[in-house]
Structure 1
């Protein structure tokens, strides 16, 4: 049980975070230009707070900041994304799902190359949840890159993806399939030479899903001769 001091501390943190939610909604430029670094540092620190209600409120502040202080957050994208990815492993479902929602916003709004610098190193993790989350993040990012730029980035993450394809976790393998499918849909036949290290079963799985998804999205299919 929490003693009185702990309860008082938690209450103060909640009140401060609730105030920040309101301040963020107001979007007062003078406040954010003066105190932004202090606010962001404090909010990111309490993402590790022992009390789940505090962590939840910290994410509520981040949601508002992503909506109202988008440009101000630009310089802190890597730090923010790294903390959010860690928070997606929270044991409290409401916290992990909200962290995932915030991370998705970051991945969709900010420079994909900067996001890749955070996501790619985590693809070598042995933690199943981290792998599923980070491969999912990679899937969101590949669709934002022009084909030639995506091609240039392949060597940085394909080896880790192929390793994950052999993971004992079915969830990890499934996430890998959908990531490879999204890359395949962007690059088409140009991606096939990169898939040479896959087994015939794995390759067939990727090409079948690529055809299904591309047909569902646009009515077109990946070259059927390659399936």
Structure 2
């Protein structure tokens, strides 16, 4: 039976540096995210939002505390086990896109579904449909270097959607887009949640986007506060 809570965090702390140069980023984060919830993480630049997102997704470690992802305690896993967990359950949208430069747009979007075990035909058809939905139907065979920043971001979003992950982590998913394209991306995010029950956890400075989420959590002094 799938875990009811997609993410559980208790007493999470994160520091960098040592001694007099030690800097505390997270000072005791507590968080429970239920399956199917939509969560916005907001806060000042440099408050630790992206660091927290990376720890929740098993891409980084806290200095202390406990983090579970889809019912699995991450501190008990080596990197290989975490990678398998992410491949099966998790989608990502990074600020830096992280597209593979030697693969074209269609191939980049296909990859997660192939890693989840979908057939080549299924993964290709799903990837093509998503890219067409995002207005990139004529850019399928273009490499990342041949795409604009906004186009690269849309490819990264399509890649995250392909395979219908249990949870999608997004770092500023509409950050480099004009309002019209950003609204289209937001609609896609919430349709993924509505139609497939995908949990959304996103870092954003877009308060209109944050207002559409079930909960908006602000990171202040290394801890989360629920916004009214």
TM-score w.r.t. the length of structure 2 is 0.30
Q: Which has the higher strand share?
A: 2
Larger radius of gyration between Structure 1 and Structure 2: 1
- Higher RCO, 1 or 2 (CA under 8 Å, sep at least 6)? 2
The structure with the greater share of residues assigned to helix is 1
